[in-house]
Amino acid sequence: MHELSLTQGVVEAITDRLGPRRVVMVRLEIGKLSGVVVDSVRFCFDLVVAGTPLEGARLEIEEPGGRARCRDCSASFASDDPILLCPCGSSDVEVLAGTELLIKAVQLAPGEVLPDVRDVRV
């Protein structure tokens, strides 16, 4: 189940950036063509955040739909099916949207402050 390692990576990215500051909400964007099972991420999130500053945080997930463009007929079309076929029948398509896996927002607990930008190593 790769959703467990993905969820661990999300939590690590947040704690690496924010340190011990308590987080009350995390918003993710997981595209419908990403291959990620959203219900599994929800399940794994509660397990992974235990004992971290994210414990008890609310998880919100946005699921943008897939969009593609046909290289044969140039039509753009929506599809949430991982097997992308243009309405013209061609499978020669370019995925335009729907593969996202992003941390869109993190909300800190009242009284917590963001780290000073000078403290962030790039």
H-helix segments, the chain:
2-18, 38-48
How far, in Å, CA of 92 to CA of 4, rounded?
32
How far, in Å, CA of 61 to CA of 38, rounded?
8
User: Which tokens go with 23?
Assistant: 């987080």
Q: Is 13 known as a binding-site position?
A: no
Q: Is 44 known as a binding-site position?
A: no
CA angle 34, 40, 42 (to 5 degrees): 100
Binding-site entries for Ni(2+): 2
Binding-site entries: 2, 70, 73, 86, 88
Binding-site entries for Zn(2+): 70, 73, 86, 88
